[in-house]
Amino acid sequence: MELTLGEATRYVLNENYSKVAAGMYVDAFRLKDGEKFNPETAPDKAKWLAQIETKLKEMHASKKEAGTFSQPRHEIAQETYVETKLWLEKLLDIKGYEEKNKGFHLGLEFKDSVK
């Protein structure tokens, strides 16, 4: 994994989208292509980085506008990161984060009685 959730959240919070986009790009294409993926020689690298960065900016701006007074800034940044990562994985048709893990339950399956 190129970035931890904490690092990515901090970068989104500080609007350093290029670092987050680079980490997402490497993570996603390593999941898609495996060990043979080389980020230095990958075709269309600039196009993908620009597309991911644009999506991060748009999503973060809309989430900040909608949740400025109702949510802490770090939660907005985390949601931005996770939702953009899910968008990218869906776009590339790869399995990465599962929807059930979106709530940061560390992949634990909860029994109906616990919910």
> pLDDT for 15-47, tens place per residue?
999 999 999 988 888 888 887 888 788 888 899
Compute the Cα dihedral for 80, 19, 21, 101 and give only its sign. Answer: negative
The CA distance from 88 to 33, in Å, is 14
- The reply to whether 11 falls in a domain is yes
Distance in angstroms between the alpha carbons of the first and the last residue of the chain: 30
The b-or-e profile of 45-61 (16+ CB within 10 A means b, else e) is eeebbeebbebbbebbe
Quick: pLDDT tens for 55-106. Answer: 999 999 998 888 767 788 888 999 999 999 999 988 988 876 554 445 554 4
Domain count, the chain: 1
**Whose structure tokens read 């994994």?**
1
Parent domain of 36: 5-101
- pLDDT, residue 113, reads 45
- The reply to whether 96 falls in a domain is yes
Quote the tokens at residue 106: 């560390």
- The reply to whether 112 falls in a domain is no
- The reply to whether 58 falls in a domain is yes
